[in-house]
């Protein structure tokens, strides 16, 4: 897909933006001019949330009641408009193709977007939830029944947790049976996806770092046990604490770097490249498996990587078929593939340069 037109009002320092991006877009401006905010607007349009902050209120421009982001998108098979409306302390409003939508999943299907920013190392460094979200984004795009499977699993999980909290009189068997079926479906989809993803990430990791990067799926319960057995074994503890312990909601992607766990071992610079490799590998894999062309947002990469690593990074990016949005302080900081469009950001106003 391609984002053909982007309109933003009152998001962070951006007052009113209306731009027509091309395939490769360089966004330049001084510190605090609004470059990251512009990337954030695109991310909000594809995900319904920010990559910088968890809450939505901070996204709304000071002294304003709400913010909007609207995009005209051309997909492989259709074109349309998608939009997100944020209200201070209010719910998020999502529209796609002229209709209200209740979930951000519809945005993702219109605008698959990934970001590599100075905080990208969190993918390697932080808790499993970050990696589950990374993995599930890809599974969602490649396996079309995954969203339903994932929702079913979480629905049954909530019901089982409610039964656990309800006290010892509540029977768990009816939920356990459904939870096992749902967990198996989620696990199989994620595992199958990861099997295809791992070689792509290994290839990108080799190109970026010159090292061996391996990914392994951790299902969220002990190896060598069927899920039903793990659930059964955990029942006493689950009852005591009122929450289900084993399961795909505790899954993780183990990242190994030259046969050692990457977390807590590799340098911050390596973590960033490693995490960037995971994202680029995923974009390549999703493109190959589903034909989907994604949007890739690169924030401040020239400030993050030394000249040699930036060169290697950009040569991998150049080979991806993605729509690129890249921020930099100056026009000569990064060289983008052609055709290229340049936008200048100054105090929250965006104008086209070339």
Ligand X SMILES: Nc1ncnc2c1ncn2[C@@H]1O[C@H](COP(=O)(O)OP(=O)(O)OP(=O)(O)O)[C@@H](O)[C@H]1O
CA distance 270 to 276: 10
Nearest to 228 by CA among 208, 241, 244, 206: 244
Name residue, tokens 């190109």: 207
DSSP output for 245-268: -SSGGG-EEEEEETTEE-TTTS-H
- Cis preceding linkage at 339, omega within 30: yes
Out of 9, 35, 44, 251, the residue judged to bind ligand X by CB under 6 A: 35
Given the rule CB under 5 A, which of 35-43, 151-159, 195-203, 335-343 is the region that contacts Mg ion?
Answer: 35-43
Out of 34, 138, 248, 281, the residue judged to bind ligand X by CB under 6 A: 34
CA distance 159 to 181: 15
CB of 221 to ligand X, least distance (A): 41
How many residues sit close enough to ligand X to count as binding (CB under 6 A)? 15
CB of 121 to ligand X, least distance (A): 17
Name residue, tokens 């493109």: 287
Name residue, tokens 């401006």: 29
Q: How buried is 85 (Cβ within 10 angstroms: 0-12 exposed, 13-18 middle, 19+ buried)? A: middle
Interface characters, 289-308, with ligand X (x: CB under 6 A): -----------x--------
Pick what 58 binds: ligand X, Mg ion, none; C-beta below 5 to 8 Å, kind-dependent: ligand X
CB of 333 to ligand X, least distance (A): 11
252 vs 300 by CB, closer to ligand X: 300
Beta carbons of 243 and 235 less than 8 angstroms apart: no
CB of 18 to ligand X, least distance (A): 17
Q: How far is CA 352 from the centre of its chain?
A: 28
Out of 9, 10, 33, 36, the residue judged to bind Mg ion by CB under 5 A: 36
List the interface residues with ligand X, window 42-81 (CB under 6 A): 58, 60-62
Q: Is 9 in the site for Mg ion (CB under 5 A)?
A: no
Q: How buried is 307 (Cβ within 10 angstroms: 0-12 exposed, 13-18 middle, 19+ buried)? A: exposed
Out of 33, 68, 282, 294, the residue judged to bind ligand X by CB under 6 A: 33
Q: Which two tokens stand for residue 306?
A: 């030394």
Given the rule CB under 6 A, which of 28-36, 78-86, 225-233, 313-321 is the region that contacts ligand X?
Answer: 28-36
Q: What residue ranges bind Mg ion (CB under 5 A)?
A: 36
Q: What residue ranges bind ligand X (CB under 6 A)?
A: 12-13, 29, 31-37, 58, 60-62, 300
């Amino acid at each position: 897909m391609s984002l053909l037109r982007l309109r933003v009002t009152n998001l962070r320092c951006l007052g009113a933006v209306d731009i027509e991006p091309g395939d490769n877009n360089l966004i330049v401006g001084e510190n605090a001019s609004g470059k990251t905010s512009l990337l954030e607007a695109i991310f909000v349009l594809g995900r319904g949330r920010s990559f910088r902050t968890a809450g939505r209120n901070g996204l709304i421009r000071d002294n304003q009641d709400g913010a909007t982001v609207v995009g005209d998108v051309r997909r492989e098979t259709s074109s349309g408009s998608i939009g997100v409306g944020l209200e201070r302390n209010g719910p998020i409003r999502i529209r796609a193709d002229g209709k209200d939508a209740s979930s951000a999943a519809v945005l993702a299907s219109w605008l698959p977007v990934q970001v590599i920013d100075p905080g990208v190392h969190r993918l390697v460094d932080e808790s499993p939830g970050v990696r589950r979200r990374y993995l599930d984004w890809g599974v969602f795009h490649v396996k079309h029944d995954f969203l339903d499977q994932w929702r079913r699993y979480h629905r049954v999980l909530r019901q089982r947790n409610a039964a656990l909290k309800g006290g010892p009189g509540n029977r768990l068997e009816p939920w356990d049976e459904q939870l096992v079926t749902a967990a198996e479906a989620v696990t199989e989809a994620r595992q199958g996806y990861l099997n295809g993803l791992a070689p792509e990430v290994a290839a990108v990791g080799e190109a970026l770092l010159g090292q061996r990067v391996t990914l392994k799926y951790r299902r969220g319960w002990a190896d060598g046990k069927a899920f039903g057995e793990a659930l059964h074994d955990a029942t006493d503890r689950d009852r005591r604490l009122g929450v289900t312990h084993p399961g795909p909601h505790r899954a993780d992607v183990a990242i190994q770097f030259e046969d050692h766990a990457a977390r807590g071992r590799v340098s911050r610079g390596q973590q960033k490249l490693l995490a960037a490799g995971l994202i680029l590998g995923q974009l390549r894999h999703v493109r190959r498996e589903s034909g989907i062309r994604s949007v890739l947002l690169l924030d401040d990469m020239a400030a993050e990587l030394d000249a040699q690593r930036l060169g290697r990074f950009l040569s991998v990016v150049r080979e991806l078929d993605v729509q690129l949005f890249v921020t930099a302080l100056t026009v000569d900081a990064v060289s983008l593939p052609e055709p290229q469009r340049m936008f200048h950001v100054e105090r929250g106003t965006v104008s086209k340069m070339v």
